[in-house]
């Protein structure tokens, strides 16, 4: 309702009280009260929800799940640690040389040489020994059947050596036996490491 007969009611606008058209200062206590009703934002009069949970994230944005996965891949303790507790990394393609120092253990190899008479009866060429690092067998004559294990025979053997041939055995510390196809000759056996 207009205050004066020549004014129209204008909502939410300052009301002039003199003919100047200028906002007039007001002194004293002024109470500003927005009211207790709803304020229209979009014309619907319905409360507008504002929630980060319902807003879409930009592409590639981190979520609690992706951050937890990244955190799980980073070791808790940084610095020098064991290989299993380390995080794998790739060395850059333009990385300068990384110095590596290696000092091998001193070798203390001993060798035991023996002559074994072998005939058509099975003979032990080398006993089983965990200290043994290798065996060299030289067949001086005839055909020699060598077996890694017991009871070599002309039909059950590991190697067949002809006259003046050498067999070098590595990475085997077990029993080695031998037998001749016919006759008998000496076999030179060198055991390494014992």
> Domain range spanning residue 133?
115-192
In a domain, 129, yes or no: yes
Indicate the burial class of 189 (C-beta count within 10 angstroms; 0-12, 13-18, 19 or more): buried
User: Per residue in 83-94, pLDDT tens?
Assistant: 777 777 788 888
Highest mean pLDDT out of 56-70, 79-93, 107-121, 137-151 = 137-151
Q: Is the pTM of this model over 0.75?
A: no
Asked if the model's pLDDT at residue 53 lies above 80, the reply is: no
CB 174 within 8 A of CB 149: yes
Given pLDDT bands bounded at 50, 70 and 90, which one contains residue 33? low
Q: Tell whether 87 is covered by a domain.
A: no
Q: Tell me whether residue 108 is in a domain.
A: no
Task: State in Å, rounded, how far the first CA of the chain is from the last one.
Answer: 120
CATH of the domain at 183: 2.60.120.770
| Total of domains in the chain | 1
Domain-located, residue 178:
yes
């Amino acid at each position: 309702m207009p205050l004066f007969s020549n004014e129209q009611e204008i909502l939410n606008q300052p009301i002039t009280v003199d003919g100047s058209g200028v906002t007039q200062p007001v002194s004293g206590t002024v109470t500003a009260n927005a009211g207790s009703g709803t304020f229209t934002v979009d014309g619907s009069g319905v409360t507008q929800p504002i929630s980060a949970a319902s807003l879409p994230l930009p592409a590639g944005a981190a979520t609690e799940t992706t951050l937890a996965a990244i955190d799980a891949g980073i070791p808790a303790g940084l610095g020098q640690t064991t290989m299993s507790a380390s995080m794998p990394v790739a060395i850059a393609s333009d990385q300068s040389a990384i110095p590596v120092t290696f000092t091998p253990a001193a070798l203390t190899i001993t060798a035991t040489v023996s002559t074994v008479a072998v005939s058509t009866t099975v003979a032990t060429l080398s006993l089983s020994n965990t200290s043994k690092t290798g065996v060299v067998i030289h067949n001086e004559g005839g055909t020699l059947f060598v077996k890694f294990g017991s009871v070599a025979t002309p039909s059950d053997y590991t190697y067949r050596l002809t006259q003046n041939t050498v067999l070098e055995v590595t990475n085997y510390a077990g029993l080695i036996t031998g037998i001749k196809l016919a006759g008998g000759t000496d076999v030179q056996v060198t055991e390494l490491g014992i």
